[in-house]
Amino acid sequence: VTTTISPKQQALAAIAELIGDAGIVALDDGERYLVDHRSLYRGRPALIVRPASTAEVADVVKLCNGAGLKVVPQGGNTGYCGGATPDTGGDAVLLSLERLRGVREVDPVGYTMTVEAGVVLAEVQRHAEAADMLFPLSLGSEGSCQIGGNLATNAGGTAVLRFGNARELVLGLEVVLADGTVWNGLRALRKDNAGYDLKQLFLGAEGTLGIITAAVLKLFPKPRARETALVAVADVDAACRLLALARRESADAVTSFEYLPRFALDLVCRHIEGAVDPFTERHRHYALIELSTAASAARLDEQLRSLLEQGLEAGWVIDAAVAQSEAQRGRLWRLRESVPEAQRAEGGSFKHDVSVPPARLAEFLTRGLAAVAAAAPEARACVYGHIGDGNLHFNFLAPPGQALKDFFASHGERVSDAVLGLAAGLGGSVCAEHGVGQLKRPLLTRYLDPVSLRLMRQMKAALDPNDTLNPGKVVPPPVP
């Protein structure tokens, strides 16, 4: 009697052998790898591996690619779109980058840092700060998300207005390609036109074209002064005008400009311990504004005062609460940062992560709310976010007493059609900062133009002809 071992089984055995016990997670112990952050998906991989080096990542990918196995890379598993969760087919290797935790170099002359993919974002920030510099990427999940995942998803966050998305914070990458080849693009150069800028292929591609194992990051001078204010504004249009003025008045020191409606502030004050509305009067719209600078001789306080005075005169600003201490600053930021948690406490939200050109924001909000009010009059709008980037989280809660799932099972499609169709019609994006993953792949088929889809498929076919890397993510399948 001969037992036949398939090529896939052989490859899995070779991987287990190669990586060793410390790098293998038993599927039964793998809950935190198998289920995504929002509990939308549960993957069923053949194996969970945690390689300890770039060379080990390369070996795993090579073995998988040769045997017809798939590879699903995973960072901190904090994504919103199931981009790091394998399907249930059982022929994927879930590859966690969490053991690649080296900080290879911090360069205070060149303002760069070279880190491995598994370093947690907050850790990157701390290393920069320890060297009197700033790594400006900042998001809610920074305590657990990993820099490799941030780069693979081109993460946004609250400082995009001044410093750009994750893509713009990278000078070089090291990447494991679909056949297991290591591409060493770890250059720390501000100017390099020696051929195509290959790192761009992998930034934001969510592991479908290559697996990022290390990166050279751009650093900036550490801010020495900061001014933070919660400003009651007349409406979203007023907020946008105030932003344009703020950029001008402050030498582009506006690092954050976030929008909150009354409803979101109420939710936060209701559900988050210690959260208090800093105004005595109730207003309808708020902007959280932060200016910061590394200059020693700056006059940020004067700039903010002048900005608010001009805003008052123009009728854009109604009232303002300016933080007088780091503690007060923390409390203002908490009002903004607690919105997701407050939504969860209220029963969860039906989310849309959309962006439009800033000049269309007011129109987008007005028309979007009207369209949803027509499609689902009882839905409660909680629209907030990074107004400075034209990026609103266009979320809706179920009516009080109704379960989110039930309500949006019947109303969700019409609501989404209204919001996403309008965003696309205004020249916007239906996936602004949270990426595509598996959740939003159908949106691309619907809202992206055929030429873009064709280009994406051409790139995928060219760089990963066997569809080894993160299959079923980002790139929509050809229409049959």
Among the residue ranges 4-12, 138-146, 187-195, 403-411, the one whose residues contact its own copies (CB under 8 A): 187-195
Cα(95)–Cα(212) distance, rounded to whole angstroms? 12
Among the residue ranges 4-12, 141-149, 266-274, 441-449, the one whose residues contact its own copies (CB under 8 A): 441-449
Cα(7)–Cα(67) distance, rounded to whole angstroms? 6
Nearer to its own copies, 25 or 463 (CB): 463
**Of 396-435, which residues contact its own copies (CB under 8 A)?**
427-435
Token match 């007060």: residue?
328
- Are 234 and 118 in contact by the 8 Å Cβ rule? The answer is no
Instruction: Choose among 364, 343, 291, 299: nearest CA to 322.
Output: 291
Q: What is the DSSP letter of 377?
A: T
Among the residue ranges 8-16, 58-66, 139-147, 451-459, the one whose residues contact its own copies (CB under 8 A): 451-459
**Of 255-314, which residues contact its own copies (CB under 8 A)?**
293-299, 302-303, 306
Task: Figure out which of the listed residues 249, 258, 290, 346 binds its own copies, where binding follows CB under 8 A.
Answer: 249
Under 8 Å CB-to-CB from 70, ≥6 apart: which residues? 64, 86, 89, 91, 92, 93, 467, 468, 469, 470, 471
Cα(282)–Cα(288) distance, rounded to whole angstroms? 16
Minimum CB separation of residue 55 from its own copies in Å reads 15
Instruction: Choose among 277, 447, 284: nearest CA to 365.
Output: 284
Nearer to its own copies, 46 or 240 (CB): 240
Nearer to its own copies, 408 or 447 (CB): 447
| Residue 411: how many other CB atoms lie within 10 Å | 20
Binding mask 191-230 for its own copies (x = CB under 8 A): xxxxxxxx-xx-xxx---x----------xxx--------
**Of 331-350, which residues contact its own copies (CB under 8 A)?**
none
Nearer to its own copies, 92 or 430 (CB): 430
The reply on whether position 24 binds its own copies by CB under 8 A is no
Minimum CB separation of residue 277 from its own copies in Å reads 29
| Residue 442: how many other CB atoms lie within 10 Å | 11
Minimum CB separation of residue 218 from its own copies in Å reads 10
Nearer to its own copies, 411 or 441 (CB): 441
Q: In what order do the strands lie in the sheet with 391-397?
A: 317-322, 225-233, 285-293, 254-261, 380-386, 391-397, 353-355
Burial of 476 (0-12, 13-18, 19+ CB in 10 A): middle
**Of 369-398, which residues contact its own copies (CB under 8 A)?**
386, 388-391
The reply on whether position 153 binds its own copies by CB under 8 A is yes
Polymer length of the chain: 480
Among the residue ranges 59-67, 89-97, 406-414, 452-460, the one whose residues contact its own copies (CB under 8 A): 452-460
Nearer to its own copies, 346 or 433 (CB): 433
